[in-house]
Every structure is written in structure tokens, then in C-alpha cells.
Amino acid sequence: MSITGTYPHAGPSARAPDASSAEALLHVSMALIVVALGVSAFAVWTPFGIVATFILTLIVSNAVPAGIPVVIICAFLYQNMMVAWYTPYIPDNDTFDALRGTNFIILMTAFCIFLAASFQHRVRALPELRAWLLLSNVLCGTICFYFALGVVHGGPKDAVVYFRNTITPLACFHIAVLAASLYPIDLRKSMLWLGTGAVIYGYVELTFTMNFLGLFHGDLYIERNIARQIETGVWEKALKETGFVFRGLEDVMTTTFFNTPFFNDILPSVFRIGGPNFHSISYAYALSIISAWLLFRGRWLLPIAALPLLLVIGSKGATFMLLVALCVRLFHSPSRTGLTLSGVVALALVWTTAAIAYGATHGDYHVLGLAAGIRDFMANPLGQGLGLGGNLSSTSINLSWSTAQAEGAASIPVESAVGVMLYQMGIGSLVFFGFLAALAVATRRQLIETGDLNFLFGFVGIVTISANAVLQEEAFYSPLALSFCLLLVGVSLGTRWREMAAARAGLQG
């Protein structure tokens, strides 16, 4: 990674519009090419895909380091659309999973490169960055320890899955804060274009449903996922517990409006869109985060266009985040900063408390999973290790919800990211929670000092996503939720510290 050059005195806003557009076009085009080539390489042969994706990311990280955040966003948001093209030619589920792991290879390659770059003299010259690099390394070490513990106590495959989900937010933040501390990064056009593409995709999918997905084998992608669920007994279990009879794709792809029974008799069922990443909740978080980020940049059209899609998807957590961002954007002024931030925290507390209170009286799965996490944390504060418990773990396959509702807690933590993390990482999870709390405090401080609304976005995003994580696994573990948010927060903090270093250099000169 190049370390030549001095800190530029002009920020992104000082660039000419044409130069900004050209740079954004380069970054987005490069990102899509890297993701497409990586997926294609995995389709040829998994070991070849790993090597090719590593080399591609290595080249891009050194040649265009300021474009790496855009590469990561594209990999998270658009990779599975590219995987769908190869679905008819993928022989087995292991190869299918390998293709979907392309974005993780891209992320971890960039993480290792920027981790090595953190030892450069140029990085050591940024005093504001040192504490965060230290905290990042401590958290990374903690996650690796619990990964090893999970491999020993549980299944290696489950441990790998939760290692990927737990390390991803940290990796995103580390890459972004370091890249922005060293190089000017302007995401305005890139985020607008990527967000516009995601919104257009959502409306086209909602309008033409399976006919649209069939154009690039998206229907086959969904069928492969459902076939795996049938093989593992998911739908047989649903039949025994709820009486639900699975008849085909339409049963999986349709839901009540806002995913709640309240609208059963009022509004017809809707097609629950999955977006270009083929996961409804993750797609909702992507729309919410992009919309909230643009809102604080003064752009209203795309967030308003995204809101109906969020209602159709029915992700209450993602919708809550965007609605809080809308309220904050309308209410905030420099003279009311403290009141605004206190209001965000108050809304998050009320939201979480109300959800727990309602769920506790209705036998909600998320509350039962959280209760299990707290119970098992008290019994074993050290933690079980990554991969034990959680929706994505094989340990949750035989979970009986009827028994959980009778006992007031699930047999193992599921559905709640906080509950699962307490169970898996024990006291180590406090390092993760402390990291998020420290980031929230840092964004608050920078907002008060600078008035930059990027930090207001960061505060709103961290607080609302953390509140959602109490009863939702995706809030922490989906790459397009907390990880995406911390990527943008890292860019904002890194840009601030780079500009402070440039100012100090100017005074010394």
C-alpha cells in the first residue's frame, strides 16, 4: 500500500463535481468488476476462486485504496445477484456456499492488508487513530479466542459461520477508518448510485416478481435455498408446531403487509422482496442505512422512495431506524444537538422496552431467545464459543418453540443478537458492546465539535441498530446492517482525523 504524499488540505467538498463523478464511476465500476470476477472464479473451482479473489483484492487495495469501501458495499449488496446467474450450473450446496463466500474473501483480504498498513509511520502520526487501532486489535483477539473455543466445543462449520458474522463489523470499521485517515474518500455519488440501483431493483422485483427473478435464475437461487430447508426438516417442523403446510415458492415469498397479522383482514398479502442480495431483512437494512445516510446529506427523494419498500418487506427494525433518522433530520438544529441525541436514546429505549413487554406476553420467539441468552450467561459467564446457539447454527435445528413458550425461555439462545452473543462470547461480548458504546460516544463528541451531520448519522445508526439487536439477530450479524453502518462511521471518523492532521501540518508549515 502506497504511503507517499502528504495530507491534502482540501476535503471531498472542495473537489470539482466532474472529478467527483469520475472518481465515483471508477470506484463503482471497479467494485462490480471485482465482485463479478471473484464469483466467476469460484464457479470455475473453489481453490481457484479463493486465490483469484485474494489477488484481485490485493491489487485493488494497493492501486485504488480509497475505493475499497465501495468494493465492500457492492460485494455485500450485489454479489448474490451475480451468484444467481451460475445457480443452474452449481453441482452441490458446498460449491453454492463457496460462491456466496466471495464477499467474505474480499473483506478479509482487505482487512489483512489494512491491518498490516496500520503499522506504517504515516498511521502512527495520527494520534486520534491509535486508541481505536488498539481497541480494534483487542476485539479481534477476543473474537479469535471465542472462535477457537467454538471449534473445540462445537462444530467447526458453525464456528466459522459465526466467526464471519462477528468479525465482519470490526473488519469494516478498521478498513474504513484507516483508508479515510490516509486517503480522501468521497462516497456521495457512489452511495447515491448504489442506493438508486437497489431501490429500482426492489420496485421491479415487487412488480414482476418471479418473472423478473427468472431472467437471471433468481428463482432457481431461491429454490435451492428452500430445497436445503426441506432437507433439514424446517418445513416438517413448522407443520408439526404451527400447522403450516408448505406448498411452493408462493408460500415462502408472500407475507402480510408489514409482516404482521394486524393487517390480515384489511390488506392483501404482498410479495416479500429480497433485493439483489436475496435476503429480505438484510436488504431492508441496506435501504434504511443508505436512505438515512443520504438524508443527513440533504437528499430526500431516494429515502422517500425507499420507505414503501421497507413497509412491504416488513422489517420493523430497519423501518424504525429510518423513521428515527427522518424525525431527527427534521428536528435537529445546532442549538438542539444535546436534546436530539437524548431523544434518539430515549426512542431506542422505549422501542426495545415495548417490544420486550409485548413479546413476553405473547410468547414471542425473539424474547424467548433473549431470555435464554441471559439465563445461560448467568450460568456460564465465560461463554460457550462461537457457533453454539443462534439461528445460523446447527445446534438450533431441534429447538421446540412450544416447549420454549411453556418454559418462558428457549433451550438455547436464538433470534436475539444480544442473547446469542452473551451465550457464545460471555464476558468477551462486553468488549464488543463496549466498542459500540465507545463509537457512539465518539460520534456524539465529533458532532458537537464540528456540527457535521455525518456524525449524527453515525450516532443514530449505532444506537438504533444496537436497540434492534436486543431482539433481532440480523441487526448485528447481517453484513448490510451493523457492518455497513460501521463502514460509513469509519469513513467519517477517518476523514475527520485526516483533516485534523492536515491542519496541524499546515500550522507547522
Check whether 266 has a pLDDT greater than 70.
no
The CA-atom distances, in angstroms, between 242 and each of 221, 238, 422, 429 are: 26, 6, 29, 34
Which residue has 473537489 as its cell numbers?
A: 15
Q: How confident is the model at residue 259 (pLDDT cuts 50, 70, 90)?
A: low
Written as nine digits, the cell of 260 is 404482521
357 burial level (CB within 10 Å; 0-12, 13-18, 19+): exposed
C-alpha to C-alpha distance for 328 and 306, rounded to whole angstroms: 18
- Helix (H) or strand (E) segment spanning residue 51: helix 46-63
Written as nine digits, the cell of 302 is 431516494
Q: Look at residues 208, 196, 197, 190 and name the one whose alpha carbon lies nearest to residue 273.
A: 208
Neighbours of 225 (CB within 10 A): 15
The CA-atom distances, in angstroms, between 10 and each of 293, 393, 448 are: 22, 48, 22
- The per-residue pLDDT of the chain, averaged, comes to 89
C-alpha to C-alpha distance for 86 and 44, rounded to whole angstroms: 10
Check whether 14 has a pLDDT greater than 90.
no
pTM tops 0.75, yes or no? yes
Contact by Cβ (8 Å): 483, 339 = no
Check whether 201 has a pLDDT greater than 80.
yes
Amino acid 168: pLDDT: 98
Coil, helix or strand for 451? coil
Contacts of 262 (CB under 8 A, 6+ apart): none
**DSSP secondary structure code for residue 386 in this structure:** T
The 3-class SS string of 17-37 reads: HHHHHHHHHHHHHHHHHHHHH
C-alpha to C-alpha distance for 348 and 343, rounded to whole angstroms: 9
Contacts 24+ apart (CB under 8 A), 233-237: 233/397
Written as nine digits, the cell of 345 is 436514546
Contact by Cβ (8 Å): 364, 358 = yes
Neighbours of 326 (CB within 10 A): 17
Neighbours of 188 (CB within 10 A): 16
**Region of poorest pLDDT, from 43-52, 75-84, 90-99, 413-422:** 90-99
Sign of the Cα torsion 389, 395, 397, 398 reads negative
117 burial level (CB within 10 Å; 0-12, 13-18, 19+): buried
Neighbours of 164 (CB within 10 A): 20
Domain ranges of the chain: 24-125, 130-185+332-498, 194-309
Q: In the chain, helix, strand, coil percent, each to 5?
A: 80, 0, 20
Check whether 264 has a pLDDT greater than 70.
no
Written as nine digits, the cell of 62 is 494497493
Coil, helix or strand for 271? strand
Amino acid 428: pLDDT: 97
Tell which wins on pLDDT, 395 or 417. Answer: 417
**DSSP secondary structure code for residue 396 in this structure:** G
Check whether 434 has a pLDDT greater than 50.
yes
The 3-class SS string of 465-506 reads: HHHHHCCCCHHHHCHHHHHHHHHHHHHHHHHHHHHHHHHHHH
Q: How many CA atoms lie within 13 A of 274 on its CB side?
A: 20
Amino acid 239: pLDDT: 45
Written as nine digits, the cell of 337 is 444537538
**Region of poorest pLDDT, from 30-34, 130-134, 263-267, 425-429:** 263-267
Which residue has 465500476 as its cell numbers?
A: 29
Sign of the Cα torsion 312, 308, 469, 388 reads positive
Q: What is the mean pLDDT of residues 81-88?
A: 96
